[in-house]
Structure 1
Amino acid sequence: MLQWINDFGWIIWLTVFLLLAVAEMLTLNLYFILMSVGALAALVAFLFHADLWLQIVIFCVVALATTVLIRPLALAHLRRGPADSLSNIERLIGHQAVVLEAVGANRGLVKIGGDVWTARTRGGVDVPAGASVEVSAIDGATAIVSFPNVHKTTGTATTTA
């Protein structure tokens, strides 16, 4: 068995590398990919005819070193950017939209930028087609819109010329 490992150790290290790479694809936490670098280093050591114990030591040292030294830098790079960066949906809040189909408390269509969204208003206010509204929130796939000129007594929106 030891002779087989000495003859075909590259298969073992390549298999370890591939298994760790697959584990990284499933978890995406940057541990397994750095350990797989250790497996590649051990594979290189095998190709230079290093003893099995040295291959294992190289694997452990490289895996530990990359995890301790590279992982924090990689995570900092991945998280770089403003802490208050907005998601795509959050960026829509405050944008102007055009009413395509009258919007009420339960139904309607608006165009935000180049996309058509289902929409509704809060408080039962009806907004006519063609009016300009502002996106005040996003609820799932529905834009909650507000109309700047709303008559509180009648509950209808009017446009000004």
Structure 2
Amino acid sequence: MDDINAWVWWLVGAAGLGIPLVVTAMPEFGMLSVGAVAAAVAAGLGGGVVLQVLVFVIVSVALIAVVRPVAARHRTQLPELATGIEALKGKQAIVLERVDGSGAGRVKLGGEIWSARSLDGTQAYEVGQEVDVVDIDGATAIVM
């Protein structure tokens, strides 16, 4: 153990903390790994064991205290730009073939022709009517 410098052990610890980061996708392990790298720098600059441990603890706790709430806030936010099927919900479409509850009708939605059925199975929409897209079920627009 005396043959290998302390900074090498800190780097081994940082790599060891990086493995569960990749396996579990828990960012806290990455923050602990950065703390270990900071302790390796302190060891490389000649800091004692107490200083190395303090640097590890301070950097790790600071990262967890600052970065984790920011990451959690970003994780809970909905995307500002709806894409794919989500972008089509709430749009208006033009009936090209009679739409009823059977799903045999067609609408022009977003420049494309979609199969469509009415939300209320008893309601029918005739050619040329504007309808609102409520949902998308597979390749079928649910309209009302």
Per the normalisation by structure 2, the TM-score is 0.66
The CA deviation at 1:4 is 3.1
In structure 2, the gaps of 5 or more residues are none
Which of residues 101, 112, 119 in structure 2 aligns to 1:105?
A: 101
Q: 1 CA distance for matches of 2:127 and 2:6?
A: 77
The 3-state SS of whatever aligns with 2:47 is coil
Per the normalisation by structure 1, the TM-score is 0.61
Which of residues 67, 72, 76 in structure 1 aligns to 2:69?
A: 72
Q: 2 CA distance for matches of 1:42 and 1:97?
A: 61
* Segments ≥4 residues shifted beyond 4 Å: 85-91
RCO higher in structure (CA 8 A, sep ≥6): 2
Letter in 2 for 1:132: E
1:56 maps to which residue?
53
RMSD across aligned C-alpha pairs, in angstroms? 3.5
The 3-state SS of whatever aligns with 1:70 is helix
The CA deviation at 1:2 is 4.6
The CA deviation at 1:73 is 3.9
Task: After TM superposition, list the pairs within 5 Å mapping 1:35-54 onto structure 2.
Answer: 35-54=32-51
Q: 1 CA distance for matches of 2:61 and 2:124?
A: 63
Task: After TM superposition, list the pairs within 5 Å mapping 1:7-156 onto structure 2.
Answer: 8-9=8-9, 11-16=11-16, 18-19=18-19, 21-23=21-23, 26-27=25-26, 30-76=27-73, 78=74, 88=83, 92-107=88-103, 108-121=105-118, 122-135=120-133, 137-141=134-138, 142-146=140-144
Q: Give aligned pairs, total.
A: 139
2:6 maps to which residue?
6
Q: 2 CA distance for matches of 1:100 and 1:56?
A: 71
Q: Structure 1 residues 33 and 114 mapped into 2: Cα distance closer, same or farther (>3 Å)?
A: farther
Q: 2 CA distance for matches of 1:60 and 1:126?
A: 67
The CA deviation at 1:12 is 0.6
Q: 2 CA distance for matches of 1:39 and 1:115?
A: 55
Q: Structure 1 residues 35 and 113 mapped into 2: Cα distance closer, same or farther (>3 Å)?
A: same
In structure 1, the gaps of 5 or more residues are 147-161
